[in-house]
């Protein structure tokens, strides 16, 4: 679980986050939404210990981020950033990178690391891609490899910044199902999404950020009952229940 408590943070003297609070529960998907420049990326950096907190605190599984070394945070939060450059390595080697927080000097992988990486690839059903170069994989397959890397990291929480940006609609839906499966396995999932309909479909909780403040946090149903979408984006979103569940659309 990740508990953000009245956090103020920024860069140098510039304050970007102004008293943000929210909680990402174990086994749940929490999605951050908001326009560009609202503070979402800064919030992720604060979660990962990449920028200092000016005030407030972030608790990761009951431990304060203020008192944790970067390697300790990396063992508790796997991070998949936005717009990843495609590395010139194999999918198997990419997955192994998830073991980096556990390596001691001189940074050599152990048999245990190879075993864990192999199991992660099996879990994502991509073991046959181990020797394939990342550049030769489709966007959907690359995302599977990145998720395998996150699983190999064995962190209880996974944070993803715009993970569906370069995926087509079919790949997005498959990826969304993978994320749901990970949350059901007990992982704490935090996403940043601009696709509002996808956010409503897969999230347990939606947290809206504007001007560095958390303006609303609630279930998709609670978000729809409010005027949040109109307030943030000037749009109206409706929902309809069918045999396959809730479906959302722009009016």
The answer to whether 58 touches 4, Cβ cutoff 8 Å, is yes
Return the ∠ at Cα 163 (arms to 160 and 168), rounded to 5°.
Answer: 165
pLDDT 10s digits, 109-159: 999 999 999 999 999 999 999 999 999 999 889 999 999 999 999 999 999
pLDDT for 153: 97
Residue range of the domain that includes 82: 2-219
Band of residue 72 on the pLDDT scale cut at 50, 70, 90: very high
Segment holding 147, helix H or strand E: helix 139-152
User: How far apart (Å, rounded) are the C-alpha atoms in residues 250 and 240?
Assistant: 11
| Total residue count of the chain as it appears in this document | 251
**What proportion of the chain, given as a percentage, has pLDDT over 70?**
99
Whole-number average pLDDT of the chain? 94
Predicted pLDDT at 84: 65
Task: Give the orientation angle of helix 139-152 with respect to helix 169-184, to 10 degrees.
Answer: 20
Cis peptide leading into 106, omega within 30 of 0?
yes
* Alpha-carbon span 94 to 143, nearest angstrom: 11
Q: Is residue 87, in this structure, part of any structural domain at all? A: yes
Residue 32 has pLDDT above 90, yes or no: yes
Q: For position 182, which CATH number holds?
A: 3.40.50.300
Which of 40, 22, 49 is closest to 192 using CA atoms?
40
pLDDT interval class at 166 (50, 70, 90):
confident
Distance CA 236, CA 182 (A): 30
Q: In the chain, how many domains are there?
A: 1
CB 250 within 8 A of CB 243: no
8 Å CB contact between 175 and 198: no
Domain-located, residue 169? yes
Q: How many CB atoms lie within 10 A of CB 185?
A: 10
């Amino acid at each position: 679980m990740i508990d953000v408590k009245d956090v103020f943070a920024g860069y140098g003297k510039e304050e970007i986050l102004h008293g943000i609070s929210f909680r990402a529960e174990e086994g749940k998907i929490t999605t951050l939404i908001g326009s560009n420049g609202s503070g979402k990326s800064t919030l992720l950096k604060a979660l990962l210990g990449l920028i200092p907190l000016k005030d407030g605190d972030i608790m990761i599984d009951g431990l304060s981020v203020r008192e944790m070394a970067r390697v300790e945070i990396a063992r508790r939060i796997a991070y998949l950033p936005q717009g990843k450059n495609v590395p010139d390595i194999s999918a198997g080697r990419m997955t192994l990178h998830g073991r980096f927080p556990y390596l001691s000097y001189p940074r050599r992988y152990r048999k245990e690391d190879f075993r864990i990486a192999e199991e992660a690839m099996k879990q994502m059903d991509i073991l046959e891609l181990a020797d394939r170069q990342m550049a030769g994989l489709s966007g959907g397959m690359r995302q599977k490899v990145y998720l395998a890397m996150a699983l190999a990291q064995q962190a209880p929480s996974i944070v993803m910044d715009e993970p569906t940006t370069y995926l087509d609609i079919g790949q997005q839906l498959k990826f969304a199902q993978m994320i749901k499966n990970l949350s059901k396995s007990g992982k704490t999932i935090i996403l940043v999404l601009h696709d509002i309909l996808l956010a409503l479909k897969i999230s347990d909780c939606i947290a809206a950020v504007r001007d560095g403040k958390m303006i609303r946090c609630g279930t998709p149903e609670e978000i729809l009952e409010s005027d949040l979408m109109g307030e943030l984006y000037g749009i109206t979103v409706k929902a309809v229940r069918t045999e396959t569940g809730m479906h959302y659309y722009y009016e």
